[in-house]
């Protein structure tokens, strides 16, 4: 399976983008109204410093991620980068597509002067191993996150 080159995605990729988001989080986590889906993806594509990067196979985007380049005051005002929503269609995993989009994102962040690139991933071993092979390290920082209040309320109720 030959890996076509990665590129920055645009609104013409909307169907593939939505299909990949559904593969990532499931249909229930995606806006159901098609017009709202288009508006949501457009907001990401048009956000300054944000890039959706994808890799194609036979004209279909089969892997993608979102790269955010954020301004910074420290580190001589060099930006930092955050990678989110990395996904490859299941049938194309382990074929180089994920690596291709990650390599593209890392190069874009470095070319933009980013002093670091961060990402978080689930605790599944294979994803962690994939990121380590790309040079990401654990242990030099601790990544923490908090969900929105609406997502935390059931947890709080269970604890009482």
Q: How confident is the model over 17-30, as a mean pLDDT?
A: 87
User: Is residue 110 assigned to a domain?
Assistant: yes
User: Is residue 72 assigned to a domain?
Assistant: yes
State residue 127's pLDDT score: 87
State residue 144's pLDDT score: 79
**Is residue 136 predicted with pLDDT exceeding 80?**
yes
**Is residue 2 predicted with pLDDT exceeding 60?**
no
Q: How confident is the model over 58-67, as a mean pLDDT?
A: 96
**Domain holding 32: CATH number?**
3.40.630.30
User: Is residue 132 assigned to a domain?
Assistant: yes
Beta strand 80-88 with 60-70 is antiparallel
Give the residue numbers spanning the domain of 114: 6-159
pLDDT digits (tens, 9 = 90+) for 75-98: 999 999 999 999 999 999 999 999
pLDDT-based confidence at residue 153 (cuts at 50, 70, 90): low
State residue 8's pLDDT score: 97
pLDDT-based confidence at residue 140 (cuts at 50, 70, 90): confident
State residue 145's pLDDT score: 81
16, 97 in Cβ contact below 8 A? no
Report residue 16 as tokens: 């593939």
pLDDT-based confidence at residue 3 (cuts at 50, 70, 90): low
Please state the domain count of the chain: 1
Edge-to-edge strand list for the sheet holding 60-70: 6-8, 50-57, 60-70, 80-88, 117-119
Worst-scoring range by mean pLDDT, 10-24, 37-51, 118-132, 143-157? Answer: 143-157
Distance of alpha carbon 30 from alpha carbon 7, whole angstroms: 24
User: Is residue 29 assigned to a domain?
Assistant: yes
User: Is residue 23 assigned to a domain?
Assistant: yes
User: Is residue 144 assigned to a domain?
Assistant: yes
Q: How confident is the model over 63-69, as a mean pLDDT?
A: 98
State residue 4's pLDDT score: 62
User: Is residue 1 assigned to a domain?
Assistant: no
**Is residue 159 predicted with pLDDT exceeding 60?**
no
């Amino acid at each position: 399976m030959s890996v076509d080159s990665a590129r920055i995605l645009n609104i013409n990729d909307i169907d593939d983008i939505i299909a990949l988001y559904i593969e990532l989080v499931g249909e229930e986590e995606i806006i159901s109204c098609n017009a709202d889906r288009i508006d949501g993806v457009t907001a990401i594509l048009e956000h300054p410093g944000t890039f959706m990067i994808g890799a194609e196979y036979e004209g279909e985007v089969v892997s993608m991620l979102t790269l955010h380049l954020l301004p910074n005051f420290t580190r001589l005002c060099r930006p930092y980068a955050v990678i989110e929503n990395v996904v490859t269609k299941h049938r194309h995993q382990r074929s180089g597509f994920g690596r291709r989009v990650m390599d593209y994102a890392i190069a874009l962040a470095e070319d933009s002067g980013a002093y670091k690139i961060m990402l978080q991933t689930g605790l599944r071993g294979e994803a962690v191993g994939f990121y380590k092979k790309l040079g990401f390290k654990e242990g030099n920082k601790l990544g923490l996150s908090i969900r929105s209040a609406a997502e935390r309320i059931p947890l709080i109720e269970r604890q009482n």
